[in-house]
Structure 1
Amino acid sequence: MNLIHALLLGLLQGATEFLPVSSSGHLAIAQYFIKGFEQPGVLFDVVLHCGTLCAVLIYFWKDVCSLLTAPWASGNDGVVRRRLLWLIIAGSVPTAIIGLTFKDALTSVFHNIPLVCAMLLVTGTILFAAERWRRGARSQEQLTLADALITGLVQGFAILPGISRSGSTIAALLFRGVDGAVAARFSFLLSMPAVAGATLISLKDLDGLAAGQLPLYLAGGGMAFVSGLLSIHLLMAVVRKRRLAAFALYCWGAGAVFFMLS
């Protein structure tokens, strides 16, 4: 992998992490067509996800600060903030269980391009159904424990390349009658513990990193951060305007095209 490859993969990660089209699926397909691409475990992918995690931290900085100080907040505002914090913690539990239990089995299929393409078709179907049958407009204050656990469960299985994490978690909340903007915000906040945990687990793969590759990994992560900030803004506009169906068409088309090419 050279610098151009690292930057292009970082750009792809940032652009697709928050748009509901599966960043892991796009990375797997792109890496398949880069001759000789190798990485220890999924370390490079995790570095790119760290870049987009930083984008979430910046974009939702006020929300993050609100959650971090929630345990000491007083009054009704403190109650509301602590409730959201506990919902995020609760939603992170099924994600962690699935990730730790099935990590090796799920990441082993990252190079199975026909499967990745099939999962893109599944993502497209999920998005289309969510847009077609979304109902209600529950606010953040109306989120329930069941909402958090179901979203965390969906996020856990979204480790499968081709299944969009943001798309599937937002869709799950839309099916449950949550407002689109609230669903997107909760989805992004819920992603932070998962990405941070995956990063810590992947630190063991640093020993297998080839000499001179670290600057390329950091360059890719930086590009993912910049493009990620832009794509978050775009997705927030998309869910407000109810245009997820366009991304369903894209996933169906991309899945079919790359299935034939592979």
Structure 2
Amino acid sequence: MSLYEIIVLALIQGITEFLPISSSGHLLLPAELLGWQNQGLAFDVAVHIGSLLAVMIYFRRDIGAMLVAWFGSLAGKHSDNSKLAWWVILATIPAVVFGFVLKPYIETYARSALVIGTTTVIFGLLLWWADVKARQHHNIYQLTWKTSLFIGLMQVLALIPGTSRSGITMTAGLMIGLDRESSARFSFLLSIPTILGAGLLLSLDLVEAQDAVDWHAMLLGILFSFVSAYACIALFLKWISKIGMLPFVIYRLLLGAVLFIFVFA
């Protein structure tokens, strides 16, 4: 890849990983618009590492407090942070289970512009409905095992390209009554094991493929995806309570329309 391609793809991955706008839809556009080739497994691993570092560093205090509290809960000392840690673990399980079962079928049948365009529009409208209709009066520490499991089950839908992992988990959070910032924070915390798992699977695929690795491209991919992801998380949490989800819904509808043009043109 050229330096330009590396920067553009890393920025796209870093930004779209955490915004509710579908990363798969955006990563399809450079290939459709500019005829770029697939970036390869090594670069996929790199941008996942950058995104993971960004969310872990941004939430480092939360993660530290949750880890300490979680170990304390094993000794019978329960707190809001220990419960939150358990809820993140619980909500991750459905994606792990269904991911192993459905991954071959999704890679074979669902990675098309038509599927991505359709899910981009449908789940964009669902996000709008949840944002308008939800009561939004609960904070993140008012989650229960039932509501956490519901968010985890909804996250399974993100296995379908175009759904947006962050989009569907924020939608689920709003549907159970979380306020906008809390739904976003839980989505971001939930992304940590999800991105880590995806990165490990990609790394295993990379080892098995035994492809040559462009370390320069990998390092730049990590850097630019980290910077864009970190900025995205910070700005999103700062603004989401004020602007709501409508701008992202409108953007998803426009993105879906562009993808449909490629399909039917």
Q: Are residues 209 and 34 of structure 1, via their aligned partners in 2, closer, same or farther at CA, if it must alter by over 3 Å?
A: farther
Alpha-carbon distance in structure 2 between the residues aligned to 1:226 and 1:206: 24
Alpha-carbon distance in structure 2 between the residues aligned to 1:248 and 1:90: 28
- Alignment partner of 2:79: what SS? helix
Matched, 1:121 2:141: no
Alpha-carbon distance in structure 2 between the residues aligned to 1:123 and 1:234: 23
**TM-score, normalized by length of structure 1?**
0.90
Structure 1 residue ranges without an equivalent (≥5): none
Identify the residue that residue 58 of structure 2 maps to in structure 1.
Answer: 59
Query: How many correspondences in the alignment?
Result: 261
Q: Are the aligned partners of 2:113 and 2:262 in contact in 1 as well (CA < 8 Å)?
A: no
Matched, 1:140 2:143: no
How far 1:239 sits from its partner (Å)? 2.6
Identify the residue that residue 10 of structure 1 maps to in structure 2.
Answer: 10
Q: Are the aligned partners of 2:22 and 2:162 in contact in 1 as well (CA < 8 Å)?
A: yes
- Alignment partner of 1:108: what SS? helix
Alpha-carbon distance in structure 1 between the residues aligned to 2:26 and 2:62: 29
After superposition, what is the alpha-carbon deviation per residue over 1:94-123, rounded to whole angstroms, capped at 9, x for unaligned? 111111111122233564112111111113
Whichever residue aligns with residue 11 of structure 2, its letter is L
Q: Are the aligned partners of 1:24 and 1:161 in contact in 2 as well (CA < 8 Å)?
A: yes
Alpha-carbon distance in structure 2 between the residues aligned to 1:198 and 1:218: 19
- Alignment partner of 1:136: what SS? coil
Q: Are the aligned partners of 1:28 and 1:110 in contact in 2 as well (CA < 8 Å)?
A: no
Identity %: 35
Q: Are the aligned partners of 1:131 and 1:242 in contact in 2 as well (CA < 8 Å)?
A: no
Whichever residue aligns with residue 237 of structure 1, its letter is K
Alpha-carbon distance in structure 2 between the residues aligned to 1:79 and 1:166: 26
- Alignment partner of 2:21: what SS? coil
How far 1:142 sits from its partner (Å)? 1.3
Alpha-carbon distance in structure 2 between the residues aligned to 1:109 and 1:232: 32
Q: Are the aligned partners of 2:70 and 2:86 in contact in 1 as well (CA < 8 Å)?
A: no
Alpha-carbon distance in structure 2 between the residues aligned to 1:77 and 1:187: 26
Whichever residue aligns with residue 250 of structure 2, its letter is L
Identify the residue that residue 195 of structure 1 maps to in structure 2.
Answer: 195
Q: Are the aligned partners of 1:130 and 1:175 in contact in 2 as well (CA < 8 Å)?
A: yes
Whichever residue aligns with residue 62 of structure 1, its letter is R
Q: Are the aligned partners of 1:8 and 1:220 in contact in 2 as well (CA < 8 Å)?
A: no
Structure 1 residue ranges, 4+ long, deviating more than 6 angstroms after superposition: 74-77
Q: Are the aligned partners of 2:30 and 2:36 in contact in 1 as well (CA < 8 Å)?
A: no
Q: Are residues 114 and 241 of structure 1, via their aligned partners in 2, closer, same or farther at CA, if it must alter by over 3 Å?
A: same
- Alignment partner of 1:178: what SS? coil
Q: Are residues 143 and 221 of structure 1, via their aligned partners in 2, closer, same or farther at CA, if it must alter by over 3 Å?
A: same
Alpha-carbon distance in structure 1 between the residues aligned to 2:39 and 2:110: 12
How far 1:218 sits from its partner (Å)? 2.9
RMSD: 2.3
How far 1:83 sits from its partner (Å)? 0.9
Matched, 1:44 2:43: yes
Identify the residue that residue 261 of structure 1 maps to in structure 2.
Answer: 262
Q: Are the aligned partners of 1:107 and 1:159 in contact in 2 as well (CA < 8 Å)?
A: no
**TM-score, normalized by length of structure 2?**
0.89
- Alignment partner of 2:197: what SS? helix
How far 1:234 sits from its partner (Å)? 2.1
Structure 2 residue ranges without an equivalent (≥5): none
